[in-house]
Amino acid sequence: MKRTGCLKKIALSLAAFCLVCLVVYTIATGQNLPLAETSWRFLSFSDGSYHDVSIEDLPLGIDFGGLPANIVGMEGGSPYGGTALCNSFLGAYKIMDAHRLQMTRPIVTSLYCLSDPQEARDLTSEYLGSLNNVTRFEIRGNELLLYYGDQDDYLRFQRH
């Protein structure tokens, strides 16, 4: 009887150890990052602003990189980047827990997009400014919502 109880304790300890190893491996390989290696096309702001601008024709999108790295501005952050009219941008992000997200201010190339209308340039400026204020995210099927500001505001994306 004592031997069976001892074997059960060993088996439970071994199972717990394997579970811990699996969790550590998942975190170390970035498999717990739901945004890792995803690409999204910008659709709209939550308040419907810029409804007069044809967003479908604008090259606005964001790509999230994979494994965490030591990126300037965010130790252990993963890279993100994308396009904003005729410019490109790059920053770092870190998922803090299931839905909380921290993003650095994007570094943006400084081409002046003369061929784009002023409304499109204004929209792009607000879009890039909002990325720095993102505090949480939500994935709903093929849509990504990045919440910023007063928590009711969000950027809406569609998976590429």
pLDDT digits (tens, 9 = 90+) for 55-107: 777 889 999 987 666 665 677 788 899 988 888 999 889 888 888 999 988 88
Question: How far apart (Å, rounded) are the C-alpha atoms in residues 84 and 41?
Answer: 11
- The pLDDT value recorded for residue 30 is 45
Q: What does DSSP assign to residue 104?
A: P
Highest mean pLDDT among 24-33, 106-115, 130-139: 130-139
> Which of 74, 64, 69 minimizes the C-alpha distance to 33?
64
The CATH number of domain 34-159, selected from 3.40.190.10, 2.40.128.270, 3.10.450.710, 3.90.1150.10:
2.40.128.270
Distances (CA, A) of 2 to 7, 9, 11, 12, 15: 9, 11, 14, 15, 20
- The pLDDT value recorded for residue 15 is 35
Centroid of chain to Cα 132: 12
The shares of helix, strand and coil residues in the chain, as percent rounded to the nearest 5, are 30, 35, 35
Residues 6+ apart with CB under 8 A from 5: none
- The pLDDT value recorded for residue 156 is 92
Six-digit token string for 25: 């491996």
Across 122-146, average pLDDT: 92
**Matching residue, tokens 């002023």:** 118
Higher pLDDT, 71 or 154: 154
Tell whether pTM > 0.75: no
> Which of 115, 127, 119, 131 minimizes the C-alpha distance to 50?
119
- The pLDDT value recorded for residue 11 is 38
